[in-house]
Amino acid sequence: MDRVDVATVGGGPAGTSAAWAAAREGADALVVEKGVPRADRDRIGPDSTDAAGMLDYWVDIMDVSPEAIPDDVILSVLDGAEFIGPTESVTLEETGIDSSYDHFGFAFHRAKFDDWLRDRAEEAGGTYRVGTSVDGVETDLSESPRHTLRLADGDEIGADYLILADGPQRTVTAGVLDQFLPGGRSASDYVAPNEANHIAYQEHRKIPEELFDPAYIKFWWGLIPGHTAYPWIFPNDDNVARVGLTMPIGMDLDDVANPEGYDLLEPDDERIPSGAVYLRRLLEREYPGYDLDDFPLVEDRGKQDGTEAYPISSTRPIDSPTGAGVAVVGGAMGTTSAFHEGGDHVAVRTGKIAGELAANDQLLKYNGRWKRAIGDEILRNVAFAEIVRGWEPDDWDRVFAATRQMQRKGGYDWGGALRSGATALRVLADYKWTKRGFSDGKHVQLRQDEYTV
């Protein structure tokens, strides 16, 4: 059996950052990544499905210097984001949060971003083993090493510290955590690994020159039914954009109270349309006079034939049983935002914290450290996801109109914008109320003291 100090399951941004930080601190660090083939990457690597947008202050949350990010990772520098409702829209050109990155954000090449993180981890002395899955982990806290990883190729790896970075599908995480939960409780009751609640689908399409705006990402809210269901367009390089959406899995058209209120539903729909149908309707609605053929698929981008699909299990974060030498990081711990799917920044940061602490035999500090580093961001995202629950198309229009009204008065950011107008005041009150409801760590679904370690 091979033995390392810190073993990480999953080689996305969280796992790779953990290995990087652990190796940098002098530990023998290993990442095991099952390996997903992608048309846009030469070597086998992590899954890397993502709309791949980064806001300015997320760079600081990653704790990365903007200059350190390689030029070929950034596809398009962003000046703002357009939020489009059924009839109203608003453009934001500031996130309203201080940051060291000079622009609103950037759209990036997720596979190259992951490769960059992997190269850094390997340069620091970490090992990235790709092409075999972790099938399971056996833990015996009275033994050394405490954890034995069973790999699909038959190998076994022993490690005293285990970092779980298997993403929102949590193929290994749930089983590991269950051993530390008393009374037959299961981590699946909290983070539901087998019940992905959303599906994300996106297409890489060439946009006609006259329509392509490289500096603005666009989100449409209130056009398709479902909580945190929305399409987007993220501009990339060479007039190519990621046209995608996220929507709930298993939604029934009969459950939609007001189907005629949603622009991307049609009267003769018998069921909720597929992601591809929604995207075709979005392009037709947005660019009248053009055909789908005017937006050809770029087949050498994305995961396969210019498209990618991914199940998402959006949730709220959980603590880790650090007394057992286990840290859950990134999407696996529920940091990906259910509101806007943003999660690379918190994945990188939680991975770094866990790797550094594990290498220094200080993993007990992890649950406190991640809350100090990303707690505000998570609380903000959890609160936003909660207040928009049940919003109808008209609600989005009202909020976008109120935000625009505020901009005319000289403000830009959501927080500032929400401070004007009756609608805005109500939303701000809702936001504060919801956030307060989650304060004192209540947004954490499974707390450290609930584990029996």
33 binds ligand FAD (CB under 6 A): yes
47 binds ligand FAD (CB under 6 A): yes
105 binds ligand FAD (CB under 6 A): no
222 binds ligand FAD (CB under 6 A): no
Q: State the Cα–Cα distance between residues 418 and 11, nearest whole angstrom.
A: 39
Interface with ligand FAD by CB under 6 A: which range of 6-14, 77-85, 380-388, 435-443?
A: 6-14
- Single residue of 9, 18, 318, 399 touching ligand FAD by CB under 6 A: 9
49 binds ligand FAD (CB under 6 A): yes
- Residue 333 or 402 having the CB closest to ligand FAD: 333
97 binds ligand FAD (CB under 6 A): no
Interface with ligand FAD by CB under 6 A: which range of 20-28, 41-49, 264-272, 417-425?
A: 41-49
- Single residue of 61, 69, 162, 200 touching ligand FAD by CB under 6 A: 200
Are the CB atoms for 234 and 340 separated by under 8 Å? no
Which x/- pattern, by CB under 6 A, does the window 50-89 give for ligand FAD? xxxx------------------------------------
203 binds ligand FAD (CB under 6 A): no
310 binds ligand FAD (CB under 6 A): yes
- Single residue of 331, 355, 393, 411 touching ligand FAD by CB under 6 A: 331
- Residue 33 or 56 having the CB closest to ligand FAD: 33
C-beta of 245: minimal distance to ligand FAD in Å?
A: 9
C-beta of 123: minimal distance to ligand FAD in Å?
A: 19
Per-residue H/E/C for the chain? CEEEEEEEECCCHHHHHHHHHHHHCCCCEEEEECCECCCCCCCCECCCCCCCEEEHHHHHHHCCCHHHCCHHHEEEEECEEEEECCCCEEEECCCCCCCCCCCCEEEECHHHHHHHHHHHHHHCCCEEEECCCEEEEEECCCCCCCEEEEECCCCEEEEEEEEECCHHHCCCHHHHHHCCCCCCCCCHHHHCCCCCCEEEEEEEEECCHHHCCCCEEEEECCCCCCCCCEEEEEECCCCEEEEEEEEECCCCHHHCCCHHHCCCCCCCCCCCCCHHHHHHHHHHHHCCCCCHHHCCECCCCCCECCEEEEEECCCCCECCCHHHCEEECHHHHCCCCCCCCCCHHHHHHHHHHHHHHHHCCCHHHHHHHHHHHHHHHHHHHHHHHHHCCCCCHHHHHHHHHHHHHHHHCCCCCHHHHCCCCHHHHHHHHHHHHHHHHCCCCCCCCECHHHCCC
Which x/- pattern, by CB under 6 A, does the window 238-277 give for ligand FAD? ------x---------------------------------
302 binds ligand FAD (CB under 6 A): no
- Single residue of 36, 77, 215, 373 touching ligand FAD by CB under 6 A: 36
Q: State the Cα–Cα distance between residues 179 and 7, nearest whole angstrom.
A: 18
- Single residue of 27, 30, 34, 420 touching ligand FAD by CB under 6 A: 34
134 binds ligand FAD (CB under 6 A): yes
Per the listing, tokens 């960059």 go with 116
Interface with ligand FAD by CB under 6 A: which range of 4-12, 61-69, 83-91, 315-323?
A: 4-12
- Residue 47 or 397 having the CB closest to ligand FAD: 47
Backbone angles phi, psi at 365, to 5 degrees: -80, -5
- Single residue of 4, 5, 13, 190 touching ligand FAD by CB under 6 A: 13
Residues that bind ligand FAD (CB under 6 A): 9-15, 32-34, 36, 46-47, 49-53, 133-134, 165-167, 171-172, 200, 202, 244, 310, 312, 330-332, 336, 341-345, 347
